[in-house]
Amino acid sequence: MTLRITDKDAVRLIAFYLPQFYPIPENDEWWGKGFTEWTMVAQGRPAYKGHYQPHIPAELGFYDLRYPEVREKQARLAAEHGIHGFCYYHYWMKGKRLLELPFGEVLSSGRPEFPFCLCWGNHNWTRRWDGREDELLIRQEYSAEDDLEHIQHLITAFRDDRYIKIGGKPLFAVHLAQFLPDPERTASVWRDAVSKAGFPGLYLVSVENNYRGDADNLAPGFDAAIEFAPDIRSLGPALFDQAKRSIGFADDPLHVGFLRNNVHLYDSMARNMLEKPVVSYKRFPCVCPSWDNSPRRQKTGGAVILHGSSPDKFREFIERAIGRAERTLRGEERLVFINAWNEWSEGCHLEPDCKYGTGFLAAVKDALVNASNTSAAGGKGPQPAYMELCDGESGHEEKYLRSLDLIAADQDEIFSAQLFVDTGNGFSGAEMAEINFSLRNGARMHWDFDLNKYDNIRKLRIDPISGAYSVIELLKIEMVWQDGTKSEIKEYISNSITQNVRELIFDTVDPQIHFYRGNNGTPARVVIDLEFKKIGESALGRALEELKTRRDKCREAGSLARKLTGRIAGLARGLIMNLTA
């Protein structure tokens, strides 16, 4: 079954597509005869225990993009799992094109019948994979004349019915817009040429790559930006930091992989990206199934490795990114980008591999189905009868009805609260309240959940916030019965590190509070009042990380001491034997 998005308001998923899977003369000269992306993929080796390398392709094999049947299989596989289109990397160097054959044949043949757009990879090509980044292979040069020649070359692609457009405007992305010497001039030249070609305009998008630390500033003259996943600023703490270098483990094979590379948790990256503040310009969310560019850095080290990715974690990541796009974007601008369809030597691919099969593709499809079901249920899933947001600083109070839409220009966080009901078969039937606003410490929340549709309620569970550490003061849980009477629930259990107190400290991003409904009859509603004392990374979380680091350091030091003791004992035994011989 092909999952195709036809609703113009539905979120469309676009996957970046790398064309470097066939030999070209330039790569033959620079890297050796027959070089392709697969050359580096084959070099992948585990850097530490539990490190997933190499990534071996499954269903599509070690393909060659010169064959049209390969491109057809890729498009069919993508469409079957809900990918709307590919964003092909396009390399233009002052009129010289590189790796142009696959997309050129897609354009000229009309096959596959699958939407696409282009992203200009405008970086210099160097020998950085060999540790010689200063050695240029081909330089990117800019000028107004080249801008015009470049855009005129692209007009043919823009005219293709498969080309992805927003309001009739072709979507064209620039990988490193911050490297353009005069982005406004370039944008002006391009827009003028596209308008003269009969289009209503050009939809220009920059990719936020954090090369210069100014990723949160939209390139002048551009319409929107695409997050790059993973955002290097959102990686979280490394599993082994530089301090490890000073305690004598540089030659220990169990740890050298951590020392030579930058190993981070996939979970931390995904959570941190989802918690990034909303910016003042239009930004398209981006997600990645994994990331590990160690095959490209076997000689140099310094790879970035996201440890612990899985299809389930990716499904949650993309599902929440889709939710953000639904809440912050409109119409044909509801786009989510995926990095990537086939970045194999960066360990970043939706294409099936021998470990997970089609697991990451299935995660995409599941996320879209879940989003579709939520939209069918009213745009945001079941909503409470009303929700009041009481800001503890200003006392300002607003009431939102069942069809609430909390979209505002100054919102910078997206959270959700959920109520789960157990009618005898475990918790199910979640009532969800999506919260999208500037949540400051001290915000007081009041929820009134409708329970009339549930029979034989045994117990309930409130998840007061998702995706963030928190310290919460639980003010009141009150059951409202069918006859209008009320009773306060004073006994509950939680996964807080504090129990049976009003102030709950959650060292988890999935806080839960469980309670029984009481015995006064059939409940009509449950009312919950609480105050957020702290949102974000908890002081406790940081303290525990520090303790964990110290504990690991002590264990390693102890291990080293045991090794040294063993070696000394061995030398002593040998010396005694020599003396007594």
Those residues whose C-beta lies under 8 Å from the C-beta of residue 166, and which sit 6 or more positions away, are 203, 332, 333
Rounded to an integer, the average pLDDT of 271-284 is 90
Please measure the distance between the N-terminal and C-terminal CA atoms of the chain and give it in whole angstroms.
81
Other residues' Cβ atoms within 10 Å of the Cβ of residue 373: 10
Distance of CA 79 to the CA centre of its chain: 21
Structure tokens, 367: 């996320």
Domain termination site, one of 335, 352, 376: 376
Cα 440 from Cα 284, distance rounded (Å): 25
Residue 541 domain-assigned (yes or no): no
Quickly list H helices, 53-125. 68-80, 101-109
Domain that holds residue 24: 12-237+265-376
Other residues' Cβ atoms within 10 Å of the Cβ of residue 483: 9
Flag the least confident range among 114-118, 392-396, 509-513, 535-539.
392-396
Global pTM value: 0.66
Rounded to an integer, the average pLDDT of 122-149 is 86
Same-domain check for residues 356 and 425:
no
For residue 265, give the amino acid letter. L
Vertex 476 angle, CA 470 and 482, to 5°? 130
Residue 548 domain-assigned (yes or no): no
Structure tokens, 265: 């948790």
Cα atoms in the 13 Å half-sphere on the side-chain side of 479: 22
Same-domain check for residues 403 and 351:
no
Residue 73 domain-assigned (yes or no): yes
Those residues whose C-beta lies under 8 Å from the C-beta of residue 525, and which sit 6 or more positions away, are 385, 448, 449, 450, 451, 452, 479, 480
- CB distance 324 to 285 below 8 Å: yes
Cα 281 from Cα 114, distance rounded (Å): 29
Q: What is the pLDDT of residue 490?
A: 81
Q: What φ, ψ does residue 119 adopt, rounded to 5°?
A: -125, 120
Domain count, the chain: 2
Flag the least confident range among 218-222, 240-244, 533-537.
240-244
Flag the least confident range among 85-94, 348-357, 561-570.
561-570
Same-domain check for residues 391 and 371:
no
Cα 139 from Cα 141, distance rounded (Å): 6
What is the band of 428 on the pLDDT scale with cuts at 50, 70, 90? low
- CB distance 225 to 175 below 8 Å: no
What is the band of 106 on the pLDDT scale with cuts at 50, 70, 90? very high
Q: What is the pLDDT of residue 156?
A: 97
Q: What is the pLDDT of residues 227-237, one digit of tens each?
A: 999 999 899 88
Cα 483 from Cα 485, distance rounded (Å): 6
Task: Select the more confidently predicted residue: 129 or 212.
Answer: 129
Residue 571 domain-assigned (yes or no): no
Strands ordered across the beta sheet of 459-463: 427-436, 414-422, 459-463, 513-516, 493-494
What is the band of 571 on the pLDDT scale with cuts at 50, 70, 90? low
Q: What is the pLDDT of residues 172-205, one digit of tens each?
A: 999 999 999 999 999 999 999 999 999 999 999 9
Same-domain check for residues 99 and 181:
yes
Same-domain check for residues 396 and 475:
yes
Same-domain check for residues 196 and 323:
yes
- Cis before 384? omega within 30: no
Same-domain check for residues 342 and 406:
no
Q: What is the pLDDT of residue 561?
A: 59
Q: Where are the beta strands (DSSP E) in 366-469?
A: 386-391, 397-400, 414-422, 427-436, 443-450, 459-463
Residue 372 domain-assigned (yes or no): yes
What single DSSP character describes residue 267? H
Structure tokens, 506: 């959650």
Q: What is the pLDDT of residue 569?
A: 58
Residue 545 domain-assigned (yes or no): no
Q: What is the pLDDT of residue 111?
A: 97
Report the relative pairing of strands 443-450 and 523-535 from DSSP bridges.
antiparallel
Structure tokens, 404: 């609430």
Q: What is the pLDDT of residue 363?
A: 96
Residue 470 domain-assigned (yes or no): yes
The CATH number assigned to the domain holding 192 equals 3.20.20.80
Quickly list H helices, 84-160. 101-109, 144-159
For residue 296, give the amino acid letter. R
User: Which residue from 544, 532, 529, 482 is spatially nearest to 503, judged by alpha carbons?
Assistant: 532
User: Which residue from 125, 123, 108, 384 is spatially nearest to 228, judged by alpha carbons?
Assistant: 123
What is the band of 372 on the pLDDT scale with cuts at 50, 70, 90? low
What is the band of 489 on the pLDDT scale with cuts at 50, 70, 90? confident
- CB distance 51 to 254 below 8 Å: no
**pLDDT of residue 547 exceeding 60:** no
Cα 82 from Cα 88, distance rounded (Å): 17
- Cis before 230? omega within 30: yes
Task: Select the more confidently predicted residue: 15 or 472.
Answer: 15
Q: What is the pLDDT of residue 182?
A: 97
**Kind and range of the H or E element at 183?**
helix 183-196
Cα 471 from Cα 441, distance rounded (Å): 9
Residue 355 domain-assigned (yes or no): yes
Q: Which residue has the tokens 């612990």?
A: 308
Rounded to an integer, the average pLDDT of 74-100 is 97
- CB distance 510 to 463 below 8 Å: yes
Rounded to an integer, the average pLDDT of 44-60 is 93
- CB distance 16 to 340 below 8 Å: yes
Rounded to an integer, the average pLDDT of 380-394 is 31
- CB distance 39 to 332 below 8 Å: no
Q: What φ, ψ does residue 507 adopt, rounded to 5°?
A: -95, 45
Q: Which residue has the tokens 């944008």?
A: 187
Q: What is the pLDDT of residue 484?
A: 83
Other residues' Cβ atoms within 10 Å of the Cβ of residue 312: 11
Return the bridge partners of 93, or none. 96
What single DSSP character describes residue 274? H
Task: Select the more confidently predicted residue: 105 or 6.
Answer: 105
For residue 409, give the amino acid letter. A
Those residues whose C-beta lies under 8 Å from the C-beta of residue 9, and which sit 6 or more positions away, are 330, 331, 334
What is the band of 454 on the pLDDT scale with cuts at 50, 70, 90? confident
Tell me the average pLDDT of the chain.
Answer: 81
Identify which of 43-52, 117-126, 446-455, 557-566 has the greatest average pLDDT: 117-126
Handedness of CA 283, 285, 288, 291 (dihedral sign): positive
Same-domain check for residues 16 and 83:
yes
User: Which residue from 90, 76, 113, 117 is spatially nearest to 335, judged by alpha carbons?
Assistant: 117
Q: What is the pLDDT of residue 183?
A: 96
For residue 444, give the amino acid letter. R
Same-domain check for residues 348 and 451:
no
Same-domain check for residues 291 and 350:
yes
Q: What is the pLDDT of residue 555?
A: 61
Q: What is the pLDDT of residue 129?
A: 66
Same-domain check for residues 129 and 223:
yes
Task: Kindly report the length of the chain.
Answer: 581
- CB distance 46 to 295 below 8 Å: no
**pLDDT of residue 384 exceeding 50:** no
Same-domain check for residues 286 and 406:
no
Q: What is the pLDDT of residue 355?
A: 95
What is the band of 461 on the pLDDT scale with cuts at 50, 70, 90? confident
- CB distance 433 to 523 below 8 Å: no
Q: What is the pLDDT of residue 403?
A: 21
Q: What is the pLDDT of residue 397?
A: 26
